[in-house]
Chain A
Amino acid sequence: NAGVTQTPKFQVLKTGQSMTLQCAQDMNHEYMSWYRQDPGMGLRLIHYSVGAGITDQGEVPNGYNVSRSTTEDFPLRLLSAAPSQTSVYFCASRGADWNTEAFFGQGTRLTVV
């Protein structure tokens, strides 16, 4: 049972480039979300999804797009990378019950130069 799998683990981009961070879960979880982690700022919600075909914005959505075509996959797209998007990105998923934990992927460390 792989849980939540993120790829890649590390990435360096040039300003203006675009890329997609992949996230897949094999637990049949309804809810998936993307967070960015910056020093002293905790885990800030970028986008989330409550099921296939349904997405919504979190606290810091600008510069990012998401889609949820299947229950398993929830990719995060950077449209035109900026140095301010240098961060560690975590994908998380959880089941539909109100009192279940969220499981995190291993994270993607992104550097934009």
Chain B
Amino acid sequence: GENVEQHPSTLSVQEGDSAVIKCTYSDSASNYFPWYKQELGKRPQLIIDIRSNVGEKKDQRIAVTLNKTAKHFSLHITETQPEDSAVYFCAAMGGSYIPTFGRGTSLIVHP
């Protein structure tokens, strides 16, 4: 089955800095890569996703990149704000139609 590795487990930045979270996956059949944000005590919610036929996607301050050859994808957050503080999960999905999640990254943005 699919295996998703996510790094780092904790990321601490100053407000206004950029943050990068990296994930690798093992199943070359995976073709859909969503990112979820989970605020404290809340459910995970989709913030951005990327499909296998696209190398990069941007939505305001967040962007995702995908390298299918190397089987890795990354989340980039620019101009971080305190409200960006949360746990972020990457996921990979392919033939099983059920997403496999990374272990999560706790992002802390210091004002």
Contacts and interface: CB of A to CB of B under 8 A. Distances in A.
A48 B93 CA distance: 14
B62 to A, nearest CB: 15
Interface in A15-40: 30-31, 33, 35, 40
Nearest to B51: A99
Given A98-B31, A101-B34, A104-B43, A40 B98 contact: no
**6 A-B pairs with the lowest CB-CB distances in the bound complex, closest first:** A42-B103, A104-B43, A43-B101, A101-B46, A99-B32, A48-B98
21 contacts: A33-B98, A35-B101, A42-B101, A42-B102, A43-B44, A43-B89, A43-B101, A44-B101, A45-B98, A58-B98, A59-B1, A90-B43, A90-B44, A92-B99, A98-B31, A98-B97, A99-B32, A102-B46, A104-B43, A106-B42, A107-B43
